[in-house]
Amino acid sequence: MPSTTDRPTGRPRTIDPDAVSLVALRLFDERGFDEVSMDDVAAAAGVSRRSLFRLFPSKAALVWGGLDEFAVRFTDALAARPASESAWVALRAAYRVGATFPDEAVEVTRHRLRVIRANPSLERGGEAAVSALTGVIERFVAERDGGSVDDLATRVRAHALAAAASAALTWWATDGAGRPEDVVDEALGLFG
């Protein structure tokens, strides 16, 4: 029976959630989301099952982790746009900033988007965040254009913009090349 002195002393090692997420996303992308268990992820990432669940309460949480950073970059960039700019120009510029992922996040973002596309059931996991982001766009369009978030034109424009940006990022992740911010900017330019 091992003694208590056989255990490592000192502070427990820190687990990098981004590294764990990347391991999981690679597994999901290679083997399929439904084919990979949380136990598989924990083993591949070299962490305990308990630690994995402390960081990510579900498999879907492993996939949706990066949307928050995108939303922060996007909303901060939107808030910084000059008031004299049209809603369309400001939103296109803010989407470009939002889609400018740090170099270390490009691979994980590509895997994340491919896994979401391959598993439509995952869309429910990010529904609240996507809905909140679309609400930001609706309010921005209404304020800039002097309308209301309840106006048909405001809703259609906001949702069309969000859908186009999402389609562009998904295309980049599955078929495209280049930088995601360039792909989103090109796609939104098609509306211009």
Q: What share of the chain is helix, strand, coil (3-state, %, to 5)?
A: 75, 0, 25
Mean pLDDT, the chain, rounded, equals 88
Residue 192's pLDDT band, with cuts at 50, 70 and 90, is low
- CA separation, residue 93 to residues 73, 81, 156, 186 (Å): 11, 8, 19, 11
Domain count, the chain: 2
Q: Does 48 map to a domain?
A: yes
Residues 179, 141: one domain? yes
Q: Model confidence over 10-44: pLDDT tens digits? A: 444 688 888 999 999 999 999 999 999 999 999 99
Residues 47, 127: one domain? no
Residues 115, 51: one domain? no
CATH of the domain at 126: 1.10.357.10
Residues 76, 45: one domain? no
Q: Does 9 map to a domain?
A: no
**Dist. CA 69–CA 46, nearest whole Å:** 25
Q: Does 5 map to a domain?
A: no
Residues 55, 40: one domain? yes
Q: Model confidence over 59-81: pLDDT tens digits? A: 988 998 778 888 999 999 999 99
Per the structure, the complete domain to which residue 124 belongs is given by 66-189
Residues 41, 102: one domain? no
Residues 37, 85: one domain? no
**Dist. CA 183–CA 169, nearest whole Å:** 7
CATH of the domain at 20: 1.10.10.60
Say what the pLDDT of residue 114 is.
Answer: 92
**Dist. CA 43–CA 100, nearest whole Å:** 32
Residue 121's pLDDT band, with cuts at 50, 70 and 90, is confident
Q: Who has greater pLDDT, 49 or 11?
A: 49
